Structure 1
Amino acid sequence: MASLGRHPVPRVAVFALPGIPPGQNRLTRVGRQGWRQAAGWKRTWDQRAAEAIAAARVAGLWDGRPVDPAVVRVVYHFSDGRRRDPDNYTGAVKLFLDAFVTAGVLLDDSFAHVTLVVEAGPPARPAWTEVIITTRAEA
């Protein structure tokens, strides 16, 4: 982390993924016979993340260096203002977080390297998922 005098300057990387991944309720409903569907969702969201990472690099929203340790803040911008449970969408992060490790944005997605925050942002049409990665201040 760079520093400004005695105070470290946090690094920030911002990524925009189109759509909202399926929630945990939908993921678990597919059952054993639905593994192909679940694998398809994983491929789709890995690809969306890879495209968002490339776009962020071009736009200067990520400097190309790993952010570690990191706070990964996932903000879902649903297309409506309906009530949703955060625990239903926390598991959906797995569908795309691995792509951030593969691309080198994160060194690892374990607890030692990542603090995860999941929340809902203001509604938007079309719906989209915002991923904001910042350096984590160590205690």
Structure 2
Amino acid sequence: MEKYTIPLIPPSLNKYAGRENTWAYRNAKAEWRGIVCAYCRPRRKPPAFAHVMITFYFPSRRRHDADNYCKFLLDGLVSAGVIADDDFAHVAYFVRGGVDKSNPRTEVEVA
């Protein structure tokens, strides 16, 4: 099992809803691809099928919609070579959330 910690939380897709935010969405996706590649360096070839556990630690107890935070992260894991692809044939993922006011972050475990 490989474990990665990213000291940030990806932006919610709700921030980029609507046609007027197309370029902002593309820029954020590219930025997060780079962030994930910087923090997630695989030590092995990506498995044909991966089980991924994602834990987001938010700075507050505000309500967060889990699936809106996964898109940029999963795309980044593919670009970094941690997982082969992010479709259902290659990955099953589980998402949890917690609160850590002093250290918001994203933790990823890949098996």
TM bucket normalised to smaller:
0.7 to 0.9
Structure 1 segments, 4+ long, off by >6 Å, are none
String of CA shifts for 1:112-135, please: whole Å, max 9, x gaps. Answer: 11111111034242311111111x
Residue matched to 1:91? 68
The 5 Å alignment of 1:32-51 reads: 32-51=19-38
Aligned partner of 1:69 among 40, 49, 68: 49
Asked if 1:14 corresponds to 2:6, the answer is no
Residue matched to 2:39? 52
Residue 79 of structure 1 contacts residue 127 of structure 1 at CA under 8 Å; is this kept in 2? Answer: yes
Identity %: 31
Asked if 1:108 corresponds to 2:97, the answer is no
- How far is 1:107 from its partner? 1.5
Residue 33 of structure 2 contacts residue 79 of structure 2 at CA under 8 Å; is this kept in 1? Answer: no
Change (3 A) 1:124 1:104: same
The number of residue pairs the alignment matches comes to: 111
Please give the alpha-carbon distance, in whole angstroms, between the structure 2 residues aligned to 1:132 and 1:124.
22
Structure with higher RCO (Cα < 8 A, 6+ apart): 2
Could you say what the CA RMSD is over the residues aligned between the two structures, in angstroms?
1.8
Please give the alpha-carbon distance, in whole angstroms, between the structure 2 residues aligned to 1:34 and 1:107.
29
- Decide which structure has the larger Cα Rg and report it: 1
Please give the alpha-carbon distance, in whole angstroms, between the structure 2 residues aligned to 1:103 and 1:19.
17
Q: Which runs of 5+ in 1 are unaligned?
A: 1-11, 55-61, 135-139
TM-score (norm 1): 0.69
Residue matched to 2:12? 23
Please give the alpha-carbon distance, in whole angstroms, between the structure 1 residues aligned to 2:81 and 2:21.
30
